[in-house]
Amino acid sequence: MEGLPPEIILTILDILGGHSGECKTSNAYDEKETIKTSHEEIRFHPDKGEYKLVTLFNKPFRGIADALRLASTCKYLYKIISTATYKHDIKHHYNSSLLISAKWDNIIGVKKAMSHGADVMAYDQTNFDHCREPPFTRRGRISVVREPTLLCMTSLTWACFNGNAELAKFLLDSGHTQNALGGFGYTRYIGACGKLYDLGLLMKLHPSRAMLCHTQKEYEEMRIADRSGQRWDAEGFPDVGASPLFFALKSCPDELRSQWQSTRWRNNHPIVESDVNGRRLAVARVLIEGGASLITRERGKIHAIHQACAARDTDIVDYLLNELGVNPNVTCENGNTPLHFMAMNLHHKWPSGQVRIDFPPGSEESVIGMLISKGADISLQNNDGCTAEGMGLPFTRQNWTDSMQKKEEQAMEIEKLRQAKRARQNENWIEVTLELLEEALRVMESET
């Protein structure tokens, strides 16, 4: 094999990859597939046999796997085929070497993909959406469809969501822009010769939809809209405008990552939780110091401090208030303050009823205390006329006392500033008056 010219080896790779003809139809990420199987085999989660379902479908990239096995037989073939495989992937498979590496925190894989020309701004088209097709067939068999998708998430989005500050910085240094905004993804139907024929809505329980919600309350409202047939992503796939910082402030612990990367959101834990691994602040610093806007989601004008308070992330709240000087009463489009966002992320719906979200002990009280110490007004109402307390956020008597005292101090400070301004205006008026009198005297003297 070492005597083969590189051109022949590359031709073999193209044939194995299925891209040697005029019609490029072998990209497994474009293939919609339907199988019929028993109801008992339908599982959508790793711990319930999701991979059993996946293996029922045709295995993708068989030819590429064969090429890599061929490359492993000698160094000469490996040198040629490994480089060509990256370039083949970037050209024909939507930069999957970059995106899958980013999703799994493989910074070495990301760097290799980038070194071979991967597009750092590419959207993720490496996932599928699985749905059951009605009606049920006889003998307990059912049709299951695997549909290609496009998720409005890039390699930086995944790095931020995984809480990987090192990878996020590398991607920013590699040219990923801060203004890449994510939104609802969609399924896509690719016809013959790679022509895009149709776009469709993701399944209602697709994890990427839950990823875009800022609080548990917003997620429950989206689910209610789904059941009433008024899906948020139904008209023109509106761009939610979620920045990489939005996903960084929702980064998930390792044990939950498989659920977010599965084909179904199980809804067995809150969509916003505290940063138990301490990763969010490091990623947030990388993004903010790199020029990221503190408006993390255009839809609703969500601010970073809204998300940090909803998650009870004390270190990020401290960073925003004390180092960046963020206003503790900053509101979103609906008039909600950081305290309102805490109230919107109190409970998680279970089949048995609503359950209080289990935040780290003392974190809620600590965040409330920090906000009040910087001037947060407990009595502020949102556009619906509700206070944070009216929405269920508990305050102590000391909270109210501190808040009122802070308001009085701020009022006194404002009055002092007003008095100082009036004094300066009076001084300026006296100076102007004296100048006019002096000018009048000079005119009179010149006339005499």
Positive/negative CA dihedral, 438, 444, 447, 448: negative
* pLDDT of res. 134: 54
**Both tokens of residue 309?**
């308070």
219-222-227-228 Cα dihedral, nearest 10 degrees: 150
Q: Report how far residue 240's alpha carbon sits from residue 71's, in angstroms, rounded to the nearest whole number.
A: 44
DSSP-derived letter for residue 282 is: H
* pLDDT of res. 197: 63
Alpha helices for 93-243 (secondary structure H) = 96-103, 107-115, 155-161, 165-173, 207-211, 216-227
Total count of residues recorded for the chain: 448
Check: CB of residue 90 under 8 Å from CB of residue 119: yes
Kind of pairing between the strands at 196-200 and 186-190: antiparallel
* pLDDT of res. 48: 43
| Three-state secondary structure string covering 268-334 | CCCCCCCCCCCCHHHHHHHHHHCCCCCEEECCCCEEHHHHHHHCCCHHHHHHHHHHCCCCCCCCCCC
Mean pLDDT by 10 residues, the chain (448 residues): 71 66 60 64 42 48 71 80 84 89 92 94 85 56 76 92 94 89 79 66 81 90 82 63 94 68 67 86 96 94 97 97 97 97 91 83 96 94 96 92 81 76 74 75 70
* pLDDT of res. 49: 41
* pLDDT of res. 234: 62
Q: For the whole prediction, is pTM greater than 0.85? A: no
Q: Report how far residue 120's alpha carbon sits from residue 176's, in angstroms, rounded to the nearest whole number.
A: 6
